[in-house]
């Protein structure tokens, strides 16, 4: 992460969430210093509503609080970061937008897969309880976790469309092969971030704090898709392994295979 200062904007996010990963990656690529606060679904919601002065309607993270400005969502945060960087490191956002749309659709399908997998696993439900819940209580509090995860399912399932994930991966492969380049738009841009993060719902490598339990990690992995798109996994790994195109959640995982 970039060096923190007292006046740094505050990013509120979930370290396991691909949308938070997109926002952090974008901010760091642009050299924007930020403080980070982890959001716990359901438990952190009242605090977030208070910060946003929003008592009704949906709230989601990531959110960036920059002075009096509230920047909601990974796309707007990335635009904010790109504006703050005189070199426009993240590229032309008009050209990037179709890639971000593909990424959003793929991640929506990916999230619904993960959420449904957690709902089908007692172990993953127990792992999703907050860290302060002692082990011996987890089984009996599973119903609390199930209610919270069902709530997330209801909140987001309408965004998921079948095959959006497959479609996004195929388009990425096609484009990378076309130009025989590691960058979707010729040089590193937010399009690469948006599509590389899609692989975090197929074979995640970003460091997550608090760490995910083994049953939950299992739900974030799609071994069949990972096998089918191992060329894209290798591409994402190359971006993550190179200083010029990486960010803190990848660097924390090093050494990372370049293959
Ligand atoms: N389009 C938004 C999507 C953000 C989003 O879907 N956030 C989810 C991540 S799973 C969230 O806030 N979940 C926690 C909750 O709804 O309580 C973005 O780009 O940031």
pLDDT value for 3:
46
Residue with tokens 């803190």: 248
- Nearest atom in ligand 1 to the alpha carbon of residue 111 is 10
Residue ID of nearest Cα to ligand 1 atom 2: 73
Residues 153 and 35 in one domain: no
- Nearest atom in ligand 1 to the alpha carbon of residue 45 is 17
Residues 55 and 104 in one domain: no
- Calculate what percentage of the chain has a pLDDT beyond 70: 95
Residues 44 and 116 in one domain: no
Ligand 1 probe mutation, 57, 60, 150, 153, most atoms within 8 A of CB: 60
pLDDT value for 42:
87
Answer whether residue 140 is part of any domain.
Answer: yes
The whole model's pTM is what? 0.94
Q: Which of 84, 101, 119 is the last residue of a domain?
A: 84
Residue ID of nearest Cα to ligand 1 atom 20: 73
CATH label of the domain that carries residue 38? 3.40.30.10
Q: How many CA atoms lie within 13 A of 125 on its CB side?
A: 20
Q: For residues 15 and 243, give the distance between their C-alpha atoms in angstroms, rounded to a whole number.
A: 20
Answer whether residue 60 is part of any domain.
Answer: yes
Taking residues 88-114, what's their average pLDDT? 97
> Over 90: is that where the pLDDT of 22 sits?
yes
Residues 126 and 231 in one domain: yes
Number of domains in the chain: 2
Q: Is the CB of 18 under 6 A from ligand 1?
A: no
Residues 107 and 235 in one domain: yes
Q: How many CA atoms lie within 13 A of 244 on its CB side?
A: 7
Q: Is the CB of 17 under 6 A from ligand 1?
A: yes
Distance 259 CA to ligand 1 centre (A): 31
Distance 149 CA to ligand 1 centre (A): 13
Answer whether residue 253 is part of any domain.
Answer: no
Residues 152 and 111 in one domain: yes
Answer whether residue 259 is part of any domain.
Answer: no
Q: For residues 166 and 48, give the distance between their C-alpha atoms in angstroms, rounded to a whole number.
A: 34
Q: Which of 84, 104, 139 is the last residue of a domain?
A: 84
Residue with tokens 């449904």: 116
Distance 258 CA to ligand 1 centre (A): 30
pLDDT digits (tens, 9 = 90+) for 35-57: 999 999 888 999 999 999 999 99
Taking residues 105-115, what's their average pLDDT? 98
Answer whether residue 194 is part of any domain.
Answer: yes
pLDDT value for 1:
45
- The pLDDT confidence band at residue 6, using thresholds 50, 70 and 90, is low
Answer whether residue 5 is part of any domain.
Answer: no
Residue ID of nearest Cα to ligand 1 atom 1: 73
Q: Is the CB of 49 under 6 A from ligand 1?
A: no
Residues 211 and 168 in one domain: yes
Residues 111 and 183 in one domain: yes
Distance 62 CA to ligand 1 centre (A): 7
- Of 248 and 7, more confident: 248
Strand spans (E) along the chain: 10-13, 35-38, 63-66, 69-72
Per DSSP, the chain holds a count of helices (H) and strands (E) of 13, 4
Q: For residues 212 and 129, give the distance between their C-alpha atoms in angstroms, rounded to a whole number.
A: 11
Q: For residues 112 and 105, give the distance between their C-alpha atoms in angstroms, rounded to a whole number.
A: 11
> ∠211-218-109 over CA atoms, to 5°?
100
Q: Is the CB of 61 under 6 A from ligand 1?
A: yes
- Tokens matching residue 21: 């990963």
Taking residues 214-227, what's their average pLDDT? 98
Range of the domain at 26: 10-84
pLDDT value for 86:
87
> Over 50: is that where the pLDDT of 259 sits?
no
pLDDT value for 249:
97
Q: Which of 84, 113, 137 is the last residue of a domain?
A: 84
pLDDT value for 2:
45
Q: Is the CB of 110 under 6 A from ligand 1?
A: no
DSSP-assigned letter for residue 5: -
């Amino acid at each position: 992460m970039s060096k923190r200062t007292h006046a740094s904007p505050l990013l509120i996010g979930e370290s396991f969430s691909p949308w938070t990963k997109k926002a952090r990656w974008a901010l760091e690529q642009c050299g924007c210093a930020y403080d980070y606060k982890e959001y716990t679904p359901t438990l952190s919601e009242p605090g977030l509503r208070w910060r946003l002065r929003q008592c009704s309607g949906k709230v989601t993270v990531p959110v960036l609080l920059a002075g009096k400005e509230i920047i909601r969502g990974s796309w707007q945060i990335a635009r904010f970061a790109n504006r703050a960087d005189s070199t426009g490191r993240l590229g032309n956002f008009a050209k990037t937008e179709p890639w971000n749309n593909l990424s959003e659709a793929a991640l929506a399908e990916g999230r619904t897969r993960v959420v449904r997998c957690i709902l089908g696993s007692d172990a993953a439900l127990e792992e999703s309880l907050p860290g302060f819940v002692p082990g011996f209580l987890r089984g009996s509090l599973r119903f609390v976790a199930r209610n919270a995860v069902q709530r997330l399912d209801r909140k987001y399932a309408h965004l998921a469309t079948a095959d959006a994930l497959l479609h996004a991966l195929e388009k990425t492969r096609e484009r990378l092969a076309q130009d025989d380049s590691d960058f979707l738009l010729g040089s590193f841009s937010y399009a690469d971030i948006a599509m590389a993060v899609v692989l975090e719902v197929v074979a995640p490598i970003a460091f997550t704090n608090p760490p995910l339990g083994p049953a939950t990690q299992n739900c974030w992995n799609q071994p069949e898709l990972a096998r089918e798109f191992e060329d894209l996994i290798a591409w994402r790994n190359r971006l993550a392994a190179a200083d010029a195109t990486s960010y803190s959640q990848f660097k924390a995982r090093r050494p990372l295979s370049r293959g």
